[in-house]
Amino acid sequence: MADPLQPYNSPVHRVLQGLFDRHRECRDGNVATYIPELAKVDPEKFGICVATTDGYVYEVGDTRHPFTIQSISKPFVYGLALDDHGPETMARKVGVEPSGDAFNAISLGEEDGRPVNPMINAGAIATTGQIKSADAAARIAKILETFGLYAGRPLDIDMAVYESETRTGHRNRAIGHLLRNYDVLTDDPTPAVDVYFRQCSILVDCRDLAVMAATLANQGVNPATQQRAIRPEHVESVLSVMASCGMYDSSGGWIYEVGMPAKSGVGGGVLAVLPGQFGIGVFSPRLDTKGNSVRAIRVCADLSRAWQLHQFNPPYSAHSSLRHAYTAAEKHSTRSRRQQEVDCLWDQGRTIRVVEVQGALSLATTEPIVREILKGLAGLRSLIIDFRHVMGLNAAAAAILADLAGQLRENAVCVLFTGAAQLSEAARALVHRFGDAAAAEVFRFPSLDAGLEACEDALLRDVFAETEPRIRDVGEYEIAAGMAAEERAVFESLLTTRHFVRGEYIVRQGDEAHSLFLIAKGVVGVWTGLLVEDARRVASCSVGMMAGGMAFIDGQPRAATLLAEDDVECAVLERSDFDLLQQSHPAIYARILRNIAASLAAKLRLADMHLEVLSCRRG
């Protein structure tokens, strides 16, 4: 219903409303009467629902009117049986071939009596008979509970429809006995057929169908409740039999025209699944001669055309998920370093490669990344694959990335996957491909910057052969550059030494600034954000560099927190001492000021380098 205060309607809703208006006058077909109670449904009822995989439901028409699920129960019970027994056992009980026959045909294999698929009655009764439970009451309770997980609410049975089908369902009973005859059912078939009648009489509404479909679209997890209704590995089996056998003997025409896995029932419902996207439910009780709801078929066909939903017409071909590839010679980490170290990174940074990837990683989107990495292996010391912008990753993508990483590691290349923490389940698929020890190494840096910094450190350690870099002479500080010996002596006399233990705050964001810190030993992290939860490490400074220069110069409160990341030793210059220099030693004062300006300029340059690399990103 449009909200009078809200002049705009969702364009998605407007399409559904348009379809509802277009087809509501259609009165072709007839309600099912072979189950006498079904003849009583109001043939005019009509509802359309689309449920997204993030839990939103669009509804038009009679979407809350209850009706019996009938054959739409079949794929869900098949999924339950797969969860109970696995695909091999189930394959011995029921096939997966479309029959081309009517839903109630007695399509059993000639030799073994195995029903051809679980979507026809014979296959469905055989499937229901497999559900593990103590007795028939427990079995239907288990089915009801599972359906409730799919729908996200408890469901009930319409006892009038159940009793009506029990009185008239002789053909289904006959099928049950045939299944018993072939030992497909190994016990008295009566309870299995009775549970089947009950499962067909479960009451749902159009909205439930859409949410149940969205649960299948969402790998078996109900998008609203986040509860799992079926094991993820069985979803594709359920969708496959829906795609080939879900629409009675018009399944071929349906997949040809509408192109998505679906199931209909003689109660008037149709449920269709767009894997990974959304679920559709349509309800209208008048059926065509095959037993499919006339309006529902038309709505789904129109919707498939309008929204280009046909599964064999993917919206775009798989593109490479390569977001950006560069080396540490083109972009350094945010660590500010002494000039000789920066020069070394310009010179040898190409031995550290960064590959930023994005989107959903499948074989098709990951293969070009692998090719890109293989192009630049000469002299490679470190490879960082950054996952910050990855939405998900399937097992095939994980396998080829892990294989490549394994080969590189065997050749002593350091491989790091950064930014993978947010990927949760998907990343675990990748983590599992490494042994525990290897995984701890490969995933040890949550952020790309930290990973890059560590790779740079390793390179610099090798080049400068310094195990524990530290300042030995005051002239090595960047802000003492260019000072004569006697100037250095004056400068040194102003400095006091301070030590900070690992994890100690040196200054806090917002503090008044009185001092400048020159790092003699250790690494200082620069963090912004006043609360722990939004704290971000935006840069770091190592030996020889100054920290806290901005507030020292402009007298504003500290813009960032400085944190000792190792045991840190600093030479501290107090502003009051510095100010006195202006009178006593103006040349030294000017030198320091110029060097502070140069240091800040270098930081700006580093920031520009980051921006430039960001702005030429693909995608």
Residues that bind ligand GLU (CB under 6 A): 70-71, 103-104, 121, 165, 172, 200, 265-266, 291
Which residue's CB is nearer to ligand GLU, number 152 or number 246? 246
**Torsion of Cα atoms, 35 then 38 then 39 then 43, to 10°:** -150
SS3 592: helix
Q: Three-class SS of residue 61?
A: strand
Q: Name the nearest CA neighbour of 116 among 213, 249, 304.
A: 249
- Report DSSP letters for 464-498, one per residue: HT-SS-B--SGGGSGGGTT--HHHHHHHHHH-EEE
How are strands ordered across the β-sheet holding 262-264? 57-61, 47-52, 278-283, 269-274, 262-264
Instruction: Report in angstroms how near the CB of residue 183 gets to ligand GLU at its nearest.
Output: 22
Cβ-Cβ contacts under 8 Å for 60 (sequence gap 6 or more)? 13, 16, 17, 19, 20, 47, 48, 49
In the complex with ligand GLU, which residue's Cβ is closer, 266 or 570?
A: 266
**Rounded CA separation 216/231 (Å):** 10
Measure the N-to-C terminal CA separation of the chain; round to a whole number of Å: 39
Closest distance of CB 72 from ligand GLU, Å? 7
Q: Which of 75, 99, 68 is nearest to 248 (CA)?
A: 99
What DSSP letter does each residue of 500-525 carry, written as one string?
E-TT-EEE-TT----EEEEEEES-EE
Least spacing, CB of residue 134 vs ligand GLU, in Å: 24
Q: Which is nearer to ligand GLU, 266 or 423 (CB)?
A: 266
- The residue written with tokens 């590959």 in the block is 355
- CB of 269 vs ligand GLU, minimal distance in Å: 9
**Shortest distance (Å) from residue 85 CB to ligand GLU:** 23
Q: Cβ(448)–Cβ(419) under 8 Å?
A: yes
Residue 31 vs 560, nearer CB to ligand GLU? 31
Which of 104, 117 has the CB closer to ligand GLU? 104
Q: Which residue, 77 or 543, has its beta carbon nearer to ligand GLU?
A: 77
Closer residue to ligand GLU in complex, CB, 175/471: 175
**Helix, strand, coil shares of the chain as percentages rounded to 5?**
45, 20, 35
Q: How far is the CB of 194 from ligand GLU (least distance, A)?
A: 12
The nearest distance, CB 432 to ligand GLU, in angstroms, is: 42
Place of tokens 């031995």: 351
Closest approach of ligand GLU to the CB of residue 36, in Å: 12
Cα–Cα nearest to 380, from 413, 358, 411:
413
Structural element, H or E, at residue 236:
helix 232-245
Rounded to a whole number of angstroms, the minimum distance from the CB of residue 121 to ligand GLU is 5
CB of 420 to ligand GLU, least distance (A): 46
CB closer to ligand GLU out of 104 and 237: 104
Q: How far is the CB of 87 from ligand GLU (least distance, A)?
A: 24
Pick between residue 70 and residue 599 the one whose CB is nearest to ligand GLU. Answer: 70
Pick between residue 264 and residue 542 the one whose CB is nearest to ligand GLU.
264
Is residue 201 exposed (0-12), middle (13-18) or buried (19+ Cβ within 10 Å)? Answer: buried
Tokens of 277: 């996207």
**Tokens read off for 259:** 């192109």
- Return the number of the residue (163 or 492) whose C-beta is nearest ligand GLU: 163
What sign results for the dihedral spanned by CA atoms 8, 10, 11, 16?
Answer: negative
Give 164 or 599: the residue with its C-beta nearer to ligand GLU.
164
Smallest distance, ligand GLU to C-beta of residue 152, A: 23
Closest CB 248 distance from ligand GLU, rounded Å: 7
Report long-range pairs for 586-589 (Cβ below 8 Å, ≥24 apart).
587/487, 588/483, 588/487, 588/490, 588/491
In the complex with ligand GLU, the residue whose CB is nearer, 123 or 223, is 123
Smallest distance, Å, CB 81 to ligand GLU?
A: 17
Q: Are strands 515-521 and 546-547 parallel, antiparallel or unpaired?
A: antiparallel
Chain-centroid distance of CA 427 in Å reads: 10
Q: Name the residue nearer to ligand GLU (CB basis): 32 or 393.
A: 32
Buried residues in 182-196 as b, exposed as e (16+ CB within 10 A): eebbeeebebbbbbb
DSSP secondary structure letters along 406-467: HHHHHTT-EEEEES-GGGHHHHHHHHTTS-HHHHHHHT--SSHHHHHHHHHHHHHHHHHT-S
